[in-house]
């Protein structure tokens, strides 16, 4: 009997692991933590792009490990915690150098007319906006703070609890149907 219970528990944990892995991955498609929508970007840099998906490393970093009685989901990405929980980061000298480098990168691609003035095409306007953003970031004082809004993609929620409950009920129902030949009518 003990081996049957362990088998059922292993099946339940395996099903939960698969289902929640899929749901946590879908949070990046939904741009929400189930029904809790993520706050949109305020910066003009990639304002229309997907949130939390630049290279895809954060999304791919979600992992899980389990033992005989539990499953733990986590991310190995160093920036995962600040995005999942939100918070503030202090501007450092190194960050300012990065912001200046991005400013020079963005401002170097401006289209110019033969007379030397800027073209008024779509690309140049976008680069002007992007360069302005990086310049504002670069001009921030060392020690000032940048607020990162909370954009949860991992964690407990009513939706997670409902999925776990459903999986447990389905596995137990299947076990009792197969073990005792109980047929619902």
SS3 state of residue 87: strand
pLDDT digits (tens, 9 = 90+) for 33-58: 888 888 777 666 665 566 676 677 88
pLDDT digits (tens, 9 = 90+) for 102-116: 888 877 766 666 776
Q: How many helices (H) and strands (E) does the chain have?
A: 6, 6
Burial class (CB in 10 A: 0-12, 13-18, 19+), 77: middle
Helix 122-138 and helix 93-107: axis angle, to 10°?
Answer: 160
Distance CA 51, CA 114 (A): 39
**pTM score above 0.75:** no
């Amino acid at each position: 009997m003990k081996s049957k219970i362990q088998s059922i528990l292993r099946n339940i944990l395996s099903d939960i692991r698969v289902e929640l892995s899929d749901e946590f991955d879908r949070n990046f498609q939904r741009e929400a933590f189930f029904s809790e929508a993520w706050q949109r970007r305020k910066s003009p840099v990639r304002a229309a792009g997907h949130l939390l998906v630049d290279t895809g490393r954060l999304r791919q970093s979600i992992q899980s490990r389990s033992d005989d009685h539990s499953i733990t989901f986590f991310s190995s990405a160093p920036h995962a915690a600040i995005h999942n929980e939100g918070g503030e980061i202090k501007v450092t000298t190194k960050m300012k150098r990065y912001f200046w480098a991005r400013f020079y990168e963005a401002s170097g691609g401006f289209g110019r007319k033969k007379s030397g003035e800027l073209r008024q095409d779509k690309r140049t306007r976008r680069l002007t906006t992007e360069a302005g953003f990086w310049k504002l970031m670069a001009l921030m004082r060392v020690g000032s703070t940048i607020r990162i809004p909370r954009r949860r993609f991992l964690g407990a929620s009513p939706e997670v609890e409902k999925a776990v409950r459903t999986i447990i009920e389905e596995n137990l129902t299947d076990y009792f149907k197969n073990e005792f030949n109980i047929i619902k009518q």
